Structure 1
Amino acid sequence: MPGYFEARPEGGATIVLDEVEISILRSLSVQLLELIGPGEEPAQDADPLAALMVEGPSEPPADPALARLFPDAYGGPGAPADRATREAAAEFRRYTETDLRAGKRENLLAVVGSLDGLSAREDEDEVLRLDADLCRQWLGALNDLRLAIGTRLEVSEEDDTLMRLPDSDPRKPMVHAYLWLGGLQETLVESLTA
Protein backbone atom coordinates (compact mmCIF):
# COMPACT_ATOMS: atom_id res chain seq x y z
CA MET A 1 0.00 0.00 0.00
CA PRO A 2 1.68 3.24 -1.09
CA GLY A 3 2.12 5.84 1.62
CA TYR A 4 1.93 3.44 4.56
CA PHE A 5 4.41 1.10 6.20
CA GLU A 6 4.37 -2.64 5.59
CA ALA A 7 6.34 -5.36 7.36
CA ARG A 8 9.45 -6.74 5.66
CA PRO A 9 9.88 -10.53 5.72
CA GLU A 10 13.44 -10.12 7.05
CA GLY A 11 12.32 -7.62 9.72
CA GLY A 12 11.90 -3.89 9.71
CA ALA A 13 9.46 -2.07 7.47
CA THR A 14 9.00 -0.71 3.97
CA ILE A 15 7.09 2.29 2.69
CA VAL A 16 6.51 3.67 -0.79
CA LEU A 17 6.79 7.46 -0.84
CA ASP A 18 6.25 9.95 -3.61
CA GLU A 19 8.14 13.21 -4.08
CA VAL A 20 5.58 15.27 -2.12
CA GLU A 21 5.54 12.88 0.84
CA ILE A 22 9.33 12.85 0.97
CA SER A 23 9.40 16.64 0.86
CA ILE A 24 6.78 17.01 3.62
CA LEU A 25 8.46 14.50 5.95
CA ARG A 26 11.86 16.06 5.39
CA SER A 27 10.61 19.61 5.87
CA LEU A 28 8.73 18.81 9.08
CA SER A 29 11.75 16.94 10.47
CA VAL A 30 14.12 19.81 9.69
CA GLN A 31 11.73 22.32 11.26
CA LEU A 32 11.53 20.27 14.44
CA LEU A 33 15.32 19.92 14.48
CA GLU A 34 15.57 23.71 14.34
CA LEU A 35 13.04 24.06 17.16
CA ILE A 36 14.88 21.58 19.39
CA GLY A 37 18.13 23.39 18.68
CA PRO A 38 21.72 22.31 18.20
CA GLY A 39 23.41 19.94 20.57
CA GLU A 40 26.22 21.05 22.79
CA GLU A 41 29.12 18.78 21.97
CA PRO A 42 31.96 18.56 24.50
CA ALA A 43 35.40 19.64 23.31
CA GLN A 44 37.47 16.84 21.81
CA ASP A 45 40.02 17.06 24.60
CA ALA A 46 37.38 17.23 27.33
CA ASP A 47 37.45 14.82 30.24
CA PRO A 48 35.00 11.99 29.35
CA LEU A 49 33.61 11.85 32.89
CA ALA A 50 33.07 15.61 32.93
CA ALA A 51 31.32 15.35 29.55
CA LEU A 52 28.88 12.84 31.06
CA MET A 53 28.05 15.21 33.90
CA VAL A 54 27.15 18.22 31.75
CA GLU A 55 24.16 19.93 33.27
CA GLY A 56 21.24 21.06 31.18
CA PRO A 57 18.51 23.60 31.81
CA SER A 58 16.52 23.51 35.02
CA GLU A 59 13.50 25.47 33.80
CA PRO A 60 10.88 24.05 31.44
CA PRO A 61 10.94 25.44 27.89
CA ALA A 62 8.78 28.51 27.29
CA ASP A 63 7.67 27.27 23.86
CA PRO A 64 4.54 25.10 24.31
CA ALA A 65 5.67 22.55 21.70
CA LEU A 66 9.04 22.12 23.41
CA ALA A 67 7.33 21.96 26.81
CA ARG A 68 5.23 19.10 25.40
CA LEU A 69 8.34 17.31 24.11
CA PHE A 70 10.24 17.90 27.38
CA PRO A 71 7.61 17.89 30.14
CA ASP A 72 8.36 18.14 33.84
CA ALA A 73 8.99 14.77 35.44
CA TYR A 74 7.05 15.73 38.56
CA GLY A 75 3.65 17.34 38.78
CA GLY A 76 1.15 17.38 35.98
CA PRO A 77 0.62 19.86 33.17
CA GLY A 78 -1.20 22.87 34.53
CA ALA A 79 -1.34 21.39 38.01
CA PRO A 80 -0.21 23.67 40.82
CA ALA A 81 3.12 22.46 42.15
CA ASP A 82 4.51 23.06 45.58
CA ARG A 83 8.11 24.16 46.10
CA ALA A 84 9.43 20.61 46.64
CA THR A 85 7.81 19.37 43.41
CA ARG A 86 9.24 22.30 41.40
CA GLU A 87 12.71 21.68 42.85
CA ALA A 88 12.55 17.95 42.10
CA ALA A 89 11.39 18.66 38.54
CA ALA A 90 14.20 21.19 38.03
CA GLU A 91 16.81 18.76 39.38
CA PHE A 92 15.57 15.93 37.16
CA ARG A 93 15.47 18.21 34.09
CA ARG A 94 19.01 19.48 34.76
CA TYR A 95 20.44 15.95 34.44
CA THR A 96 18.19 14.50 31.71
CA GLU A 97 17.07 17.12 29.21
CA THR A 98 20.39 17.39 27.37
CA ASP A 99 20.35 13.63 26.66
CA LEU A 100 16.65 13.70 25.74
CA ARG A 101 17.28 16.50 23.24
CA ALA A 102 20.23 14.59 21.77
CA GLY A 103 18.08 11.48 21.34
CA LYS A 104 15.31 13.41 19.61
CA ARG A 105 17.83 15.09 17.32
CA GLU A 106 19.38 11.71 16.50
CA ASN A 107 15.96 10.27 15.58
CA LEU A 108 15.08 13.25 13.38
CA LEU A 109 18.48 13.17 11.68
CA ALA A 110 17.96 9.47 10.94
CA VAL A 111 14.66 10.31 9.23
CA VAL A 112 16.24 13.12 7.20
CA GLY A 113 19.21 10.92 6.31
CA SER A 114 17.06 8.04 5.12
CA LEU A 115 14.87 10.42 3.09
CA ASP A 116 17.94 12.06 1.58
CA GLY A 117 19.01 8.60 0.44
CA LEU A 118 15.94 8.45 -1.81
CA SER A 119 15.81 10.10 -5.19
CA ALA A 120 12.11 10.34 -5.97
CA ARG A 121 11.29 11.91 -9.27
CA GLU A 122 7.99 13.43 -10.28
CA ASP A 123 6.89 10.36 -12.22
CA GLU A 124 8.22 7.69 -9.84
CA ASP A 125 7.67 6.69 -6.24
CA GLU A 126 10.55 5.52 -4.07
CA VAL A 127 10.69 2.52 -1.75
CA LEU A 128 12.20 3.21 1.65
CA ARG A 129 13.45 0.14 3.51
CA LEU A 130 14.07 0.45 7.23
CA ASP A 131 15.83 -2.04 9.47
CA ALA A 132 14.71 -2.49 13.09
CA ASP A 133 16.97 0.28 14.43
CA LEU A 134 15.76 2.79 11.85
CA CYS A 135 12.17 1.78 12.58
CA ARG A 136 12.71 2.66 16.24
CA GLN A 137 14.16 6.04 15.28
CA TRP A 138 11.33 6.71 12.84
CA LEU A 139 8.76 5.86 15.52
CA GLY A 140 10.37 8.31 17.93
CA ALA A 141 10.55 11.04 15.29
CA LEU A 142 6.96 10.51 14.09
CA ASN A 143 5.75 10.68 17.69
CA ASP A 144 7.68 13.91 18.33
CA LEU A 145 6.41 15.46 15.10
CA ARG A 146 2.81 14.64 16.03
CA LEU A 147 3.26 16.00 19.55
CA ALA A 148 4.72 19.27 18.26
CA ILE A 149 2.08 19.74 15.56
CA GLY A 150 -0.72 18.70 17.92
CA THR A 151 0.47 21.27 20.45
CA ARG A 152 0.58 24.01 17.81
CA LEU A 153 -2.93 23.04 16.68
CA GLU A 154 -4.11 22.78 20.32
CA VAL A 155 -5.45 19.28 19.67
CA SER A 156 -7.44 17.83 22.54
CA GLU A 157 -9.45 14.65 23.01
CA GLU A 158 -12.56 16.62 23.94
CA ASP A 159 -12.55 18.94 20.92
CA ASP A 160 -13.00 17.69 17.37
CA THR A 161 -13.42 21.11 15.72
CA LEU A 162 -10.12 20.72 13.88
CA MET A 163 -11.58 17.80 11.96
CA ARG A 164 -14.37 20.04 10.67
CA LEU A 165 -12.31 23.03 9.59
CA PRO A 166 -13.27 24.62 6.28
CA ASP A 167 -10.75 24.28 3.47
CA SER A 168 -10.06 28.02 3.71
CA ASP A 169 -8.72 27.72 7.28
CA PRO A 170 -4.92 28.17 7.31
CA ARG A 171 -4.58 25.34 9.85
CA LYS A 172 -6.11 22.78 7.49
CA PRO A 173 -2.80 21.64 5.88
CA MET A 174 -1.26 21.05 9.33
CA VAL A 175 -4.34 19.08 10.40
CA HIS A 176 -3.87 16.89 7.33
CA ALA A 177 -0.18 16.48 8.16
CA TYR A 178 -1.03 15.61 11.78
CA LEU A 179 -3.52 12.93 10.69
CA TRP A 180 -1.18 11.56 8.00
CA LEU A 181 1.70 11.28 10.48
CA GLY A 182 -0.67 9.41 12.80
CA GLY A 183 -1.43 6.95 10.01
CA LEU A 184 2.27 6.47 9.33
CA GLN A 185 2.96 5.92 13.02
CA GLU A 186 0.12 3.43 13.36
CA THR A 187 1.13 1.39 10.30
CA LEU A 188 4.78 1.38 11.38
CA VAL A 189 3.78 -0.04 14.78
CA GLU A 190 1.53 -2.60 13.07
CA SER A 191 4.29 -3.65 10.69
CA LEU A 192 6.69 -4.19 13.58
CA THR A 193 4.21 -6.25 15.59
CA ALA A 194 2.98 -8.36 12.63
Structure 2
Amino acid sequence: MRKWKRVDTAEGPRFRSALAPHEAALLKNMVSSVQGMLDEREAATPSDPLEQITGIRAGNPQPPEDSTMRRLLPDFFKPQRDHPAGSAVAESLNGALRSLHEPTIIDAKKAAAQRVLDTLPDGGGRFEITEGDANAWIAAINDVRLALGAMLAIGPEGPDRLPADHPLAGHLDVYQWLTVLQEYLVLGLMGKPIR
Protein backbone atom coordinates (compact mmCIF):
# COMPACT_ATOMS: atom_id res chain seq x y z
CA MET A 1 0.00 0.00 0.00
CA ARG A 2 1.19 3.46 -0.83
CA LYS A 3 0.63 6.36 1.52
CA TRP A 4 -2.42 8.52 0.99
CA LYS A 5 -1.86 11.73 -0.93
CA ARG A 6 -4.21 14.62 -0.21
CA VAL A 7 -5.09 16.80 -3.19
CA ASP A 8 -7.14 19.93 -2.51
CA THR A 9 -9.57 20.67 -5.34
CA ALA A 10 -12.37 23.18 -5.90
CA GLU A 11 -14.84 20.41 -4.94
CA GLY A 12 -13.00 19.65 -1.71
CA PRO A 13 -10.11 17.40 -0.77
CA ARG A 14 -9.47 14.17 -2.61
CA PHE A 15 -7.33 11.31 -1.36
CA ARG A 16 -5.21 9.19 -3.67
CA SER A 17 -3.47 5.92 -3.02
CA ALA A 18 -2.82 2.55 -4.60
CA LEU A 19 -3.36 -1.01 -3.46
CA ALA A 20 -1.65 -4.15 -4.66
CA PRO A 21 -4.05 -6.75 -6.07
CA HIS A 22 -3.74 -8.97 -2.98
CA GLU A 23 -4.35 -5.96 -0.68
CA ALA A 24 -7.51 -4.98 -2.57
CA ALA A 25 -8.79 -8.58 -2.49
CA LEU A 26 -8.03 -8.94 1.22
CA LEU A 27 -9.73 -5.65 2.10
CA LYS A 28 -12.77 -6.54 0.01
CA ASN A 29 -13.04 -9.93 1.71
CA MET A 30 -12.72 -8.52 5.24
CA VAL A 31 -15.15 -5.63 4.71
CA SER A 32 -17.66 -8.00 3.09
CA SER A 33 -17.31 -10.40 6.04
CA VAL A 34 -18.07 -7.66 8.57
CA GLN A 35 -21.02 -6.55 6.44
CA GLY A 36 -22.29 -10.14 6.42
CA MET A 37 -21.98 -10.40 10.21
CA LEU A 38 -24.02 -7.21 10.59
CA ASP A 39 -26.65 -8.60 8.19
CA GLU A 40 -26.91 -11.74 10.33
CA ARG A 41 -27.30 -9.70 13.52
CA GLU A 42 -30.02 -7.61 11.90
CA ALA A 43 -31.84 -10.71 10.61
CA ALA A 44 -31.76 -12.28 14.09
CA THR A 45 -33.69 -9.36 15.62
CA PRO A 46 -36.95 -10.64 17.11
CA SER A 47 -40.14 -9.13 15.74
CA ASP A 48 -41.51 -6.25 17.79
CA PRO A 49 -45.29 -5.61 17.89
CA LEU A 50 -44.67 -1.90 18.50
CA GLU A 51 -42.60 -1.77 15.30
CA GLN A 52 -45.52 -3.25 13.39
CA ILE A 53 -47.86 -0.57 14.78
CA THR A 54 -45.59 2.48 14.54
CA GLY A 55 -43.26 1.51 11.71
CA ILE A 56 -40.29 2.47 13.89
CA ARG A 57 -37.58 -0.16 13.56
CA ALA A 58 -36.46 -1.81 16.76
CA GLY A 59 -33.14 -3.49 17.37
CA ASN A 60 -32.33 -6.66 19.21
CA PRO A 61 -32.49 -5.84 22.93
CA GLN A 62 -30.14 -8.74 23.77
CA PRO A 63 -26.38 -8.25 23.53
CA PRO A 64 -24.60 -10.30 20.88
CA GLU A 65 -23.38 -13.69 22.07
CA ASP A 66 -20.36 -13.67 19.76
CA SER A 67 -17.30 -11.79 21.10
CA THR A 68 -16.63 -10.22 17.70
CA MET A 69 -20.14 -8.81 17.47
CA ARG A 70 -19.92 -7.62 21.08
CA ARG A 71 -16.84 -5.64 20.03
CA LEU A 72 -18.70 -4.17 17.04
CA LEU A 73 -21.91 -3.49 19.02
CA PRO A 74 -20.78 -2.94 22.61
CA ASP A 75 -23.00 -2.17 25.57
CA PHE A 76 -23.93 1.46 26.14
CA PHE A 77 -23.39 1.18 29.91
CA LYS A 78 -20.88 -0.92 31.78
CA PRO A 79 -22.45 -3.12 34.47
CA GLN A 80 -21.77 -1.75 37.95
CA ARG A 81 -21.18 -4.70 40.21
CA ASP A 82 -20.91 -2.54 43.34
CA HIS A 83 -24.22 -0.75 42.64
CA PRO A 84 -26.97 -1.58 45.22
CA ALA A 85 -29.24 -2.72 42.38
CA GLY A 86 -26.46 -4.87 40.92
CA SER A 87 -25.95 -4.88 37.18
CA ALA A 88 -29.69 -5.23 36.44
CA VAL A 89 -30.10 -1.47 35.90
CA ALA A 90 -27.28 -1.32 33.35
CA GLU A 91 -28.61 -4.44 31.59
CA SER A 92 -32.09 -2.92 31.40
CA LEU A 93 -30.72 0.37 30.04
CA ASN A 94 -28.52 -1.46 27.53
CA GLY A 95 -31.49 -3.48 26.29
CA ALA A 96 -33.64 -0.37 25.85
CA LEU A 97 -30.86 1.56 24.11
CA ARG A 98 -30.09 -1.38 21.84
CA SER A 99 -33.75 -1.52 20.82
CA LEU A 100 -33.71 2.17 19.99
CA HIS A 101 -30.30 2.65 18.40
CA GLU A 102 -28.96 -0.65 17.08
CA PRO A 103 -30.78 -0.44 13.70
CA THR A 104 -29.27 3.00 13.02
CA ILE A 105 -25.81 1.89 14.14
CA ILE A 106 -25.95 -1.21 11.94
CA ASP A 107 -27.20 0.86 8.97
CA ALA A 108 -24.29 3.29 9.38
CA LYS A 109 -21.73 0.49 9.62
CA LYS A 110 -23.16 -1.29 6.57
CA ALA A 111 -23.30 1.96 4.57
CA ALA A 112 -19.63 2.68 5.36
CA ALA A 113 -18.70 -0.87 4.35
CA GLN A 114 -20.63 -0.57 1.09
CA ARG A 115 -18.96 2.74 0.29
CA VAL A 116 -15.55 1.08 0.69
CA LEU A 117 -16.62 -1.77 -1.57
CA ASP A 118 -17.93 0.71 -4.15
CA THR A 119 -14.69 2.75 -4.23
CA LEU A 120 -12.19 -0.09 -3.82
CA PRO A 121 -10.31 -0.68 -7.09
CA ASP A 122 -11.08 -4.10 -8.56
CA GLY A 123 -7.82 -5.96 -8.87
CA GLY A 124 -5.88 -3.24 -7.06
CA GLY A 125 -4.21 -0.23 -8.58
CA ARG A 126 -4.41 3.52 -8.17
CA PHE A 127 -7.62 5.13 -6.97
CA GLU A 128 -9.00 8.38 -5.62
CA ILE A 129 -11.73 8.99 -3.05
CA THR A 130 -13.66 12.00 -1.76
CA GLU A 131 -13.67 13.31 1.80
CA GLY A 132 -16.98 11.52 2.46
CA ASP A 133 -15.51 8.30 1.08
CA ALA A 134 -12.44 8.76 3.30
CA ASN A 135 -14.62 9.01 6.40
CA ALA A 136 -16.45 5.84 5.35
CA TRP A 137 -13.12 4.07 4.78
CA ILE A 138 -11.96 5.05 8.28
CA ALA A 139 -15.19 3.76 9.85
CA ALA A 140 -15.24 0.50 7.89
CA ILE A 141 -11.54 -0.21 8.45
CA ASN A 142 -12.08 0.45 12.15
CA ASP A 143 -14.87 -2.15 12.19
CA VAL A 144 -12.59 -4.70 10.50
CA ARG A 145 -9.85 -3.90 13.03
CA LEU A 146 -12.33 -4.35 15.89
CA ALA A 147 -13.38 -7.74 14.52
CA LEU A 148 -9.77 -8.87 14.07
CA GLY A 149 -8.84 -7.41 17.45
CA ALA A 150 -11.53 -9.52 19.13
CA MET A 151 -10.21 -12.64 17.45
CA LEU A 152 -6.62 -11.82 18.44
CA ALA A 153 -7.58 -10.66 21.96
CA ILE A 154 -5.95 -7.30 21.32
CA GLY A 155 -6.32 -4.93 24.23
CA PRO A 156 -4.11 -3.12 26.71
CA GLU A 157 -2.30 -6.40 27.38
CA GLY A 158 -2.77 -7.78 23.88
CA PRO A 159 0.05 -9.00 21.66
CA ASP A 160 2.32 -6.66 19.71
CA ARG A 161 4.06 -9.60 18.07
CA LEU A 162 3.44 -13.29 17.67
CA PRO A 163 6.01 -15.95 16.83
CA ALA A 164 6.25 -16.57 13.09
CA ASP A 165 4.96 -20.13 13.52
CA HIS A 166 1.90 -19.02 15.54
CA PRO A 167 -1.34 -19.83 13.66
CA LEU A 168 -2.58 -16.22 14.03
CA ALA A 169 0.71 -14.45 13.19
CA GLY A 170 -0.53 -13.51 9.71
CA HIS A 171 -3.75 -12.11 11.16
CA LEU A 172 -1.77 -9.83 13.46
CA ASP A 173 0.24 -8.61 10.46
CA VAL A 174 -3.04 -7.79 8.68
CA TYR A 175 -4.30 -5.98 11.80
CA GLN A 176 -1.16 -3.85 11.84
CA TRP A 177 -1.42 -3.15 8.11
CA LEU A 178 -5.03 -1.98 8.60
CA THR A 179 -3.88 0.23 11.48
CA VAL A 180 -1.34 1.97 9.23
CA LEU A 181 -3.85 2.27 6.36
CA GLN A 182 -6.34 3.92 8.71
CA GLU A 183 -3.79 6.14 10.46
CA TYR A 184 -2.40 7.53 7.22
CA LEU A 185 -5.90 8.32 5.98
CA VAL A 186 -6.78 10.08 9.26
CA LEU A 187 -3.60 12.16 8.96
CA GLY A 188 -4.53 13.01 5.37
CA LEU A 189 -8.00 14.13 6.46
CA MET A 190 -6.44 16.30 9.15
CA GLY A 191 -4.09 17.82 6.57
CA LYS A 192 -1.03 16.60 8.46
CA PRO A 193 2.05 15.40 6.63
CA ILE A 194 2.68 11.67 6.55
CA ARG A 195 6.22 10.69 7.41
Give TM class, smaller chain.
Answer: 0.7 to 0.9
1:180 equivalent to 2:182? Answer no
Task: Tell me, in whole angstroms, the C-alpha distance in 2 between the residues paired with 1:37 and 1:187.
Answer: 29
The 1-side partners of 2:131 and 2:95 are apart by 34
Whole-Å separation in 1 of the counterparts to 2:74 and 2:151:
15
Length, aligned pairs only: 175
Q: Can you list the C-alpha shifts for 1:147-168, whole angstroms capped at 9, x where unaligned?
A: 11001100122243x51x2222
1:83 to partner: Cα distance:
1.6
Question: TM-score normalized by structure 1?
Answer: 0.83
TM-score, normalising length: structure 2: 0.82
**Letter matched to residue 138 of structure 2:** L
**RMSD of aligned residue pairs (Cα, Å):** 2.0
5-14 vs 99-108, greater mean Cα deviation = 5-14
Report the AA paired with residue 191 of structure 1.
Answer: G
Change (3 A) 1:159 1:152: closer
Q: 1:151-190 alignment to 2 at 5 Å? A: 151-160=150-159, 162-163=160-161, 165-190=162-187
Q: State the partner residue of 2:20.
A: 18
Maintained 8 Å contact 1:12/1:192: no
Q: Secondary structure at the match of 1:3?
A: coil
Check 1:119–1:96 CA distance in 2 against 1; reply closer, same or farther (3 A cut).
Answer: closer
Give % identity: 22
Is 1:65 the equivalent of 2:62?
Answer: no
Post-superposition offset of 1:13 = 1.3
Shift of 1:104: 0.5
> Could you tell me which amino acid in structure 2 is paired with residue 94 of structure 1?
S
The alpha carbon displacement at 1:82 in A equals: 2.1
What per-residue deviation string (whole Å, max 9, x for no partner) do you get for residues 85-135 of structure 1? 2111110110100111111111111111112xx243xxxx61121101101
Structure-2 separation of matches of 1:82 and 1:35: 28
Deviation for aligned residue 1:20: 0.8
Residue 47 of structure 2 aligns with which residue?
none
* Structure 1 spans left out of the alignment, 5+ residues: 41-46
Q: For 1:44-71, what per-residue CA distance to the aligned partner results, in whole angstroms no more than 9, with x for missing partners? A: xxx9x933x1111101100111111111
CA distance in 2, matches of 1:179, 1:8: 26
Work out the CA distance in 2 between the residues paired with 1:28 and 1:153.
Answer: 15
> After superposition, what is the alpha-carbon deviation per residue over 1:14-46, rounded to whole angstroms, capped at 9, x for unaligned?
111111110010011111111111556xxxxxx
Matched, 1:50 2:54: yes
Distance 1:152 1:9, change over 3 A: same
In 1, the alpha carbon distance for the partners of 2:119 and 2:18 equals 13
Gaps in structure 2 of 5+ consecutive residues:
44-50
